[in-house]
Amino acid sequence: MSAGFVITGTDTDVGKTIVAAMLTLALRGTYWKPIQSGIEEIDVQTVRRLTGLPDTHFMPEQYRLSRPLSPHRAAELDGVEIDVEQLTLFLNRNQVSERVILIESAGGLMVPITRHMLQIDMIKNWNMPVILVARTQLGTINHTLLSVEALKARGIPIHGLIFSGPDNPDTTRTISDFTGVKVLGRVPVLQSLTPAIFKEAFDQNFKQQDFA
């Protein structure tokens, strides 16, 4: 399997796409979102716009579903059948050996991809380490501990945690202490979203060697 990370989140709108854009730019990686639900602005277009990277840094999504719903239901309404094995084959065929692959999940770990498979089980099949994105606000301790527990129960390697939002040192420490998972850094509230701002945020809040 390709060298890289699966970027997933503890909840909806926790900042997965922002983290994915920042890491794709900082690591000069290849971004892939296999399943896109909702097409107002698809995430690969967002990440391309936010990073300014050329098209060679992006792999096309394999399923573009029209409604912003759980993939299993969005696919049903569009008359589409998601083939999880084909996603794995596509990933294997498109390995970019000189680049890290950053795969953004469609929603959280327990989102159904089909009526028979959860996203967390698809991630396990890929045998790639996970970067878990979590908020710093109220409720994040519960959501993050549950997500980490689910990953550990399936033997999925967790590369680390990335927090998104205002600084909350006690919350960060509490989650780290209970999970034993490395905190890679925090994406602060950004006043604008540009490649220069992303580079500054990464340099100030993360260490390049943590993603080697």
Domain extents for the chain? 4-211
Pairing of strands 183-187, 58-59: unpaired
- Say if pTM beats, i.e. exceeds, 0.85: yes
Q: Select which of 33, 124, 182, 207 is catalytic.
A: 33
- How far CA 109 is from CA of 25, 31, 176, in Å, comes to 24, 19, 19
d(C-alpha 143, C-alpha 133), whole Å: 11
- Please give the pLDDT value at position 111: 95
Instruction: Please answer whether residues 20 and 131 qualify as being in contact, where contact means their C-beta atoms are separated by less than 8 angstroms.
Output: no
Distance of CA 91 to the CA centre of its chain: 15
Q: In this structure, are residues 47 and 146 in contact, taking their beta carbons and an 8 Å threshold? A: no
Tokens of 101: 């692959």
- C-alpha separations of 57 from 131, 151, 165 in Å: 19, 28, 27
Are 28 and 99 in contact by the 8 Å Cβ rule? The answer is: yes
Could you confirm whether 33 is annotated as catalytic? yes
pLDDT per residue as tens, the chain (212 positions): 458 999 999 988 899 999 999 999 999 999 999 999 987 767 888 899 899 999 999 998 999 999 999 999 999 999 999 999 999 999 888 766 678 999 999 889 999 999 999 999 999 999 899 999 999 998 999 999 999 999 999 999 999 999 999 999 999 999 999 999 999 999 999 989 999 999 999 999 999 999 98
Q: What element of type H or E holds 160?
A: strand 158-164
CATH architecture of 4-211: 3-Layer(aba) Sandwich (3.40)
Is-contact 140 15, C-beta < 8 A? no
Cα(35)–Cα(191) distance, integer angstroms: 29
Burial class (CB in 10 A: 0-12, 13-18, 19+), 169: exposed
The pLDDT of residue 64: 92
Q: What is the pLDDT of residue 1?
A: 44
